[in-house]
């Protein structure tokens, strides 16, 4: 990638904030790429198994109903975006030294290391520095173009990857933290909230996933586990609560079949209604924070 075209269309260059003469070309490319995205939102969880990737993908699909959205699968060891959107085997293309994200719809484009593996079962056996280098490349060399949102699905926990993403982007709009209602999950979510505060990253809200069961016939949501723990924890930690997402058999089938976008954007399902509410709450919180 040459320095002559690195800043083409870059808002930072137009405003004079980026003069295209920085010593590190990748740093220059990173700053220009991120300047074209209005909201950079991380999706975090304190532990695995709470449905974080499914929430991130559904949230991106819900936002893309009327906005240009990018979804970065930063979970290098468990990339799920290709399967969720029926993109397994898709080829990543390049243009003028830039990597093009894979289109799901005209408004939703995604990127995942899963597109670069020989097979879905190929493991990524990397140490920390190589993982951070890959994340930096996804953020600086992928041509996200002009986007209202970049949703970043981070690995669970508070380790290298989420820390590296925050430090690489430099200025994120905030984080959405996913939990389930059980106290075991909530303990780890409190750590995620503290993690964000220590890094001065705004917590845009908590999503309580697997909150009740949505009947596939009538759509009524019935609690089968504890319910309300995420909202109570959010109140205790003084962070916003975005909403509850029920266990929806339709979403499970859609994820397995790679039909998530079609299911999410169909009217009437309990899950789609819940994510619409989360989307609107997130938008309000982003608006009030800006």
Q: Is 52 assigned to a binding site?
A: yes
Do the beta carbons of residue 52 and residue 35 sit within 8 Å?
no
Q: What is the mean pLDDT of residues 104-118?
A: 91
Confidence of residue 69 (pLDDT cuts 50, 70, 90): very high
Q: What is the pLDDT of residues 238-290, one digit of tens each?
A: 999 999 998 888 777 777 777 777 766 665 678 888 899 999 999 999 998 76
What would the 3-class secondary structure string for 108-145 be?
EEEEEHHHHCCCCCCCCCCCHHHHHHHHHHHHHHECCC
Residue 48, marked binder: yes
* 16 marked ligand binding residue: no
Say whether 97 counts as a known binding-site residue.
no
Q: Is 239 known as a binding-site position?
A: no
> What tokens does 29 get?
């490319």
- pLDDT, one tens digit per residue, over 120-174 is 778 888 888 888 899 999 999 999 999 999 999 998 888 888 898 999 998 899 9
Higher pLDDT, 141 or 96: 141
Is 53 among the annotated ligand-binding positions?
A: yes
49 is in an annotated binding site: yes
Q: Which two tokens stand for residue 243?
A: 């909403």
Domains for the chain: give ranges and CATH numbers. Answer: 34-289 (3.40.50.300)
């Amino acid at each position: 990638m040459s320095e002559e075209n690195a800043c083409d269309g870059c808002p930072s260059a137009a405003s004079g904030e980026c003069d295209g003469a920085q010593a590190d070309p990748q740093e220059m490319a990173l700053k220009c790429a991120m300047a074209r995205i209005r909201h950079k939102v991380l999706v975090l969880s304190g532990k695995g198994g709470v449905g974080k990737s499914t929430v991130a993908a559904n949230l991106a699909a819900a936002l893309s109903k009327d906005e240009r959205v990018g979804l970065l699968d930063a979970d290098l060891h468990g990339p799920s975006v290709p399967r969720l959107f029926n993109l397994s085997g898709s080829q990543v293309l390049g243009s003028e030294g830039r990597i093009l994200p894979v289109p799901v719809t005209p408004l939703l484009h995604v990127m995942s290391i899963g597109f670069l593996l020989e097979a879905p079962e190929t493991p990524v056996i990397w140490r920390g520095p190589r993982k951070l280098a890959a994340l930096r490349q996804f953020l600086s060399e992928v041509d996200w173009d002009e986007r209202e949102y970049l949703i970043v699905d981070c690995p669970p926990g508070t380790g290298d990857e989420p820390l590296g993403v925050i430090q690489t982007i430099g200025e994120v709009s905030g984080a959405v933290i996913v939990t389930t209602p059980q106290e075991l999950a909530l303990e780890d979510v409190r750590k995620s909230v503290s993690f964000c505060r220590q890094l001065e990253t705004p917590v845009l809200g908590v999503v309580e996933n697997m909150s009740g069961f949505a009947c596939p016939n009538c759509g009524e949501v019935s609690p089968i586990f504890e319910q309300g723990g995420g909202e109570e924890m959010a109140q205790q930690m003084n962070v916003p609560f975005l909403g509850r997402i029920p266990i929806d058999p339709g979403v499970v089938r859609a994820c397995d079949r790679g039909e998530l976008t079609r299911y999410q954007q169909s009217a009437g399902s309990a899950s789609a209604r819940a994510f619409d509410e989360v989307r609107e709450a997130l938008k309000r919180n982003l608006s009030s924070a800006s």
